[in-house]
Amino acid sequence: MKATEATNRNFGRAARLLGIDATAERQLVTPYREIKVEITLTRDDGTLATYTGFRVQHDNARGPMKGGIRYHPEVDPDEVNALASLMSWKTAVVNLPYGGAKGGINCDPRQLSLGEQQRLTRQFTQRIQDCIGPQMDIPAPDMGTNAQTMAWIVDEYSKFHGWSPGVVTGKPVELGGSLGREAATGRGVLMAAQCLFEDAGSAVANHTFAVQGFGNVGSWAARLIAQAGGKVIAVSDIDSAVQNEHGLDCEALAAWMQQNRTLKGFPGGEQLAPESLLAVECDVLVPAALGGVIDKRVAAELRAKYIIEGANHPSDPDADEVLAKKGVVIVPDIYANAGGVTVSYFEWVQNIQMYHWDEARVNEELHRVMRRAWSDLRTTARTYACDLRTAAFALAIARVMRATGLRGN
């Protein structure tokens, strides 16, 4: 299923609960602006390669637009559109003063040298610099990009606009990045799990977890879940997976990954086919890689009781129906992975104030935001007697509509 179709179906279900008319629905679903640029890169060997860069700005009723930039061969306008829309709903669920955007380049960063990545990023920034900015649209890292990518964007953007660390978040700390940002999305996943299980009178420590993807989100989620006493029994990356029913040593895994850049050969567990990860028998599945990985066929084989969505839109609405029939509880992406954008917001606040918070303050404030949002989400789910995904969309749409109405035409 196309990513926009999936997102719009989720949106539509919540819109019907709220009684939104067709015109307002169309207005809320349609992006504010879609940017598409050509980027020609001179490779290290002197040959030329062309790529397409995208930035979709979805909604700015509640503040400047915010969303990551992804480098991945499968980046396409449909998915960027869906991800931009999800950002509007995500920032609204956790009540940050932002709208939503998303961008990307259809390249494989693993095939590019550091120098090539830098030249590509600088050209992309030149093409979009008049459409982004600290009060307009603030990019951040996503799949295939990182703090270094953000540093290049700050440098290139600042050539046009003067020193502007607040143009992106997820920067290196030396350039105005926030302490705690790197681990923030994974930490938010842990906090979502804590909220979920505390409500049920239980704890993370009483549960087993399988994590798909061992990049920024997956590795931090796994490490922090393990530190909280949860048993991480399986993890995967793009070409390998490893399991250990007694619990994996996630610190050793992260160190292995740092050195080898693959989970292959990790001695602390048995190797597993990466595609089997989603069907591992566990209490909680944390998808933290690509979107669209759980369709109705995968859903039928899935054996987890809970899904906490570290990735964006890992499950489509057909799969959600199968999972609901099986009694699987889904903590949706627009809440569960909002820890990253929340600490991005703290970074932006620190940049505006030219003041640094210590890491304890960052984590404490993140905790407060995730808990308050969980409470709002649970109340909405009870009010409408609906699942958590529909509740998250309903909560977000109501907030965006209210801001849109207050601003007037």
Residues with a known catalytic role: 102
Q: Which of residues 217-236 bind ligand NAD (CB under 6 A)?
A: 217-218, 236
Whether the Cβ atoms of residue 170 and residue 152 lie closer than 8 Å to each other: no
Among 156, 237, 283, 316, binds ligand NAD (CB under 6 A): 237
> Least distance to ligand NAD from the beta carbon of 58, Å?
15
Measured from the Cβ of residue 253, the count of other Cβ atoms closer than 10 Å reads 24
Among 64, 144, 165, 166, binds ligand NAD (CB under 6 A): 144
Task: Report the first-to-last Cα separation within the chain, whole angstroms.
Answer: 35
The answer to whether 141 contacts ligand NAD (rule: CB under 6 A) is: yes
Q: Which two tokens stand for residue 308?
A: 């906490």
| 230 CB-near residues (< 8 Å, 6+ apart) | 193, 204, 205, 207, 208, 209, 284
The answer to whether 311 contacts ligand NAD (rule: CB under 6 A) is: yes
> Least distance to ligand NAD from the beta carbon of 262, Å?
8
Contact track, ligand NAD, 241-260, x by CB under 6 A:
--------------------
| 56 CB-near residues (< 8 Å, 6+ apart) | 31, 33, 34, 35, 77, 80, 81, 83, 84, 101, 102, 103
> Least distance to ligand NAD from the beta carbon of 202, Å?
26
Q: Name the residue among 39, 41, 36, 144 with its Cα closest to residue 80.
A: 36
The answer to whether 215 contacts ligand NAD (rule: CB under 6 A) is: yes
Decide whether 15 or 293 has the Cβ nearer to ligand NAD.
293
Tell me the site size for ligand NAD, rule CB under 6 A: 25
Q: Is 405 helix (H, G, I), strand (E, B) or coil?
A: helix
Measured from the Cβ of residue 200, the count of other Cβ atoms closer than 10 Å reads 10
The answer to whether 238 contacts ligand NAD (rule: CB under 6 A) is: yes
Q: Which two tokens stand for residue 145?
A: 């990009």
The answer to whether 337 contacts ligand NAD (rule: CB under 6 A) is: yes
Among 56, 92, 107, 143, binds ligand NAD (CB under 6 A): 143
> Least distance to ligand NAD from the beta carbon of 23, Å?
31
The answer to whether 284 contacts ligand NAD (rule: CB under 6 A) is: no
Q: Which amino acid is at 33?
A: R
Residues that bind ligand NAD in the complex, under the rule CB under 6 A: 141-144, 185, 212-218, 236-238, 274, 288-291, 310-312, 337, 340
